[in-house]
Amino acid sequence: MKLGRFIVETHCHAQRHAVRIQDHGDESNYETLPDKMKMAVPADEAADDADVVVYDNSERVLRDMDTYDVDMCVLLPSFGMTNEINRQIIEAHPEQFIAAAAPVQTKKQALQGEREWSWERAAEELDEWLQLDGFRMTGEGIRGDPTRTEPIAWAQRKQDLRHVFDVAAKHDVPVRWHTGYVSGYGGAHGLFNLYPDWQDPTLASQLKAEYPEVPIIFDHGGMQAGWQEKYVEKCCQVAGSFDDVYLEIGLYWADLMKKPMNDPNISIDQLLWGTDWGASMVQHHQPNEDPPVFWEQIEHRGLPAHQPDYWGASLRQLQTFARERDLPQDDLNLILSGNAVRLFDIDVPDDRMFQRYLNV
């Protein structure tokens, strides 16, 4: 039986990298891989000797959507993935995909040494994409100058982030704020050292207070990978202070879902079902331990050549939590899609699918 009336995956990477790692000696050395992924070339434009290419992987997404009865996905670009490919996917399947916009070309031009990074040009690129049908938010996360190697002070970083919030406010769309940490394949690649907001998600509250009209989505809800819960707690702290700060809980294990659910200041309306479909993490299983499962990049296993099954694993955890808590189905429907439908202005077959009440 389908877990809800309508299901929206809010964190999907429908593009995939093909890596010529076998041409670079030791296959267990991944230190340079993230940098190569940032420079990925679309497959239909790549030369035969390209180190990393990125291609449309939506056929596999659609197959999993059919398998798990997922109705719609939010497409996110990352690590060299392009807005253009996501747009092609949306145009081919307009009823099943929407996307976030990112300043992809501004980043690539800086990395290639063609033009210095500029927040103004990044904002212009975001503005252009958000004018197109299907692009409903910014993200994934806010990274900044990809050539930066020195840490940035929060005062300057906050000033830079305003460029993204200004564009989001203009288009009345949410800003995605990346949270969480992966360890394998080069880890977070220095981002935690460079950007204070990656170390401390509570800094998002300062931008939220400054832009009360702009919703914030915490990508991964503080739990991208691993088992440490401190970033989840920081995200919950912000979500408990603002009713339009949202948490993706698709990578939470069942017991971890209790953190936002048991917080009296976090509403069921603030939870989204978003995983990381298409990413390189795999599920780690440790029976009789706490937590029993979590996601991670596990270096000694090598790069996953298969498509990790995010949705099967995530829906099992959500179903386990819902059964243990006896969660009302109307609440579960909000997590699975109702909140996303409202937040992203998604058309659905019936405007009475999700709970709402009239104040008389």
CA end-to-end span of the chain? 36
User: Which of 320, 312, 336 has the alpha carbon at shortest distance from 253?
Assistant: 320
Name the residue with tokens 């990790």. 308
| pLDDT given for residue 119 in this prediction | 98
What's the rounded Cα separation, in Å, for the pair 105 and 108?
5
| pLDDT given for residue 28 in this prediction | 46
- Any residues with CB less than 8 A from the CB of 155 and at least 6 apart, and which? none
- Any residues with CB less than 8 A from the CB of 80 and at least 6 apart, and which? 17, 37, 38, 39, 40, 41, 52, 54, 104, 108
Contact yes or no for 191/145 (Cβ under 8 A):
no
Residue 114, amino acid:
E
User: Which of 311, 271, 300 has the alpha carbon at shortest distance from 62?
Assistant: 311
| pLDDT given for residue 152 in this prediction | 95
Helices (H), the chain: 33-38, 58-68, 83-92, 104-111, 119-130, 154-171, 191-194, 196-199, 204-210, 230-239, 258-261, 310-325, 329-333, 339-344
| pLDDT given for residue 250 in this prediction | 98
| pLDDT given for residue 236 in this prediction | 98
| pLDDT given for residue 16 in this prediction | 84
> Could you give phi then psi for residue 192, rounded to 5 degrees?
-70, -30
Residue 260, amino acid:
P
Contact yes or no for 166/265 (Cβ under 8 A):
no
Burial zone of 299 (CB within 10 Å; 0-12 exposed, 13-18 middle, 19+ buried): middle
| pLDDT given for residue 360 in this prediction | 65
All residue ranges of the chain with pLDDT < 70 are 18-51, 185-191, 360
Count of Cβ atoms closer than 10 Å to residue 47 Cβ: 7
What are the b/e assignments for 8-22, b being 16+ CB within 10 Å? bbbbbbbbbbebebe
pTM flag (> 0.85):
yes
Distances in Å between the alpha carbon of 33 and those of 20, 25, 296, 302, 303? 10, 13, 16, 12, 11
- Kindly report the CATH number that applies to the domain delimited by 8-344: 3.20.20.140
Report the alpha-carbon angle 220-226-227, nearest 5: 100
